[in-house]
């Protein structure tokens, strides 16, 4: 049986919390999409695990409340996760977006927000989980690279894949050039995947994500960008 992942949501406007560690360009793509009316959602809060995360200023510019929970001040993963879970819970988000959040979360918090937490990863999973994805792709000489948005599960960079975007790897690419090409694709993919979630079009069946009414979006992702 297909299972709807958002069975209890009454309000049509979804509430989103975004968790970041750094620059915040994916966050900015989401906030711009909300502002432009392309994403019918409310970003309730941005939480960063680093006080110097550039995305905090981007959130403030958009009038979104921010909270810093500095991971380095917590003695272990469980203590940090508990603080993060409490902060997230306060806004009762329908969806939590990990947008450049560079920490591994423990099983307890992941299970607490099961099917409500998504992550963007700069590679075509299951290839290149973890860090240094662009460097590893270049070293392997792959011809295609890209990014993935997936539901978060206790195993890192594993979890039902919502969407992927493919970019070419070109001769002469450096890590920085390839990262910039992938990042452009990330911004588009993340907005689309969040929109699909908000439109209640995602169904998880046998640990795979089905996209309802997929014609146009599916077609869009047959065409590599960049």
| 164 near ligand GRF, judged by CB under 6 A | no
121 given a catalytic annotation: yes
Residue 146, helix vs strand vs coil: strand
Segment contacting ligand GRF by CB under 6 A, of 17-25, 32-40, 65-73, 218-226: 17-25
Closest contact distance (angstroms) between CB of 208 and ligand GRF is: 22
C-alpha 161/C-alpha 149 separation (Å) is 6
Q: Which residues of 14-49 are buried (b: 16+ CB within 10 A; e: fewer)?
A: bbbbbbbbbebbbbbbbbebbeeeebebebbbbbbb
Strand partners, 167: 145
**DSSP assignment, residue 12?**
S
Residue from 31, 59, 149, 183 touching ligand GRF (CB under 6 A): that is 183
Closest contact distance (angstroms) between CB of 41 and ligand GRF is: 17
Measured from the CB atom, is 190 or 198 closer to ligand GRF? 190
The answer to whether 195 touches 38, Cβ cutoff 8 Å, is yes
Segment contacting ligand GRF by CB under 6 A, of 1-9, 15-23, 110-118, 137-145: 15-23
**DSSP assignment, residue 72?**
G
Measured from the CB atom, is 181 or 195 closer to ligand GRF? 181
C-alpha 71/C-alpha 206 separation (Å) is 34
Closest contact distance (angstroms) between CB of 28 and ligand GRF is: 8
Residue from 16, 17, 24, 189 touching ligand GRF (CB under 6 A): that is 24
Q: Which of the residues 121, 134, 145, 187 is marked catalytic?
A: 121
Q: Tokens 């695990």 sit at which residue? A: 49
Q: Are strands 41-48 and 66-68 parallel, antiparallel or unpaired?
A: parallel
Angle between helices 133-140 and 175-198 (to 10 degrees): 120
Closest contact distance (angstroms) between CB of 54 and ligand GRF is: 7
Measured from the CB atom, is 83 or 189 closer to ligand GRF? 189
Q: Which of residues 100-159 bind ligand GRF (CB under 6 A)?
A: 100, 120-122
Residues at the contact surface with ligand GRF, assessed by CB under 6 A? 20, 22-26, 55, 99-100, 120-122, 183, 186
Which residues form the catalytic set?
Answer: 121
């Amino acid at each position: 049986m297909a299972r709807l992942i958002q069975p209890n949501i009454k309000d049509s406007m979804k509430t989103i919390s975004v968790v970041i560690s750094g620059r915040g360009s994916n966050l900015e793509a989401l906030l711009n999409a909300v502002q432009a009316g392309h994403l019918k959602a409310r970003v309730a809060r941005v939480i960063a695990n680093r006080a110097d995360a550039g995305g905090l200023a981007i959130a403030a510019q958009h009038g979104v409340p921010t909270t810093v929970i500095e991971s380095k001040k917590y003695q272990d993963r469980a203590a940090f996760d508990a603080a993060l879970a409490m902060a997230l819970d306060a806004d009762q988000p329908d969806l939590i977006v990990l947008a450049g959040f560079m920490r591994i979360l423990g099983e307890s918090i992941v299970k607490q927000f099961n099917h409500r937490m998504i992550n963007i990863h700069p590679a075509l999973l299951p290839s290149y989980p973890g860090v240094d994805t662009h460097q590893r792709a270049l070293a392997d000489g792959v011809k295609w690279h890209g990014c993935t948005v997936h539901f978060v599960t206790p195993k890192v960079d594993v979890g039902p894949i919502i969407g992927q975007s493919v970019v070419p790897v070109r001769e002469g690419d450096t890590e920085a050039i390839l990262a910039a090409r992938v990042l452009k694709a990330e911004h588009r993919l993340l907005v689309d995947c969040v929109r699909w979630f908000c439109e209640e079009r995602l169904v998880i069946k046998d640990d795979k994500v089905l996209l309802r009414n997929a014609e146009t979006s599916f077609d869009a992702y047959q065409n590599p960008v960049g």
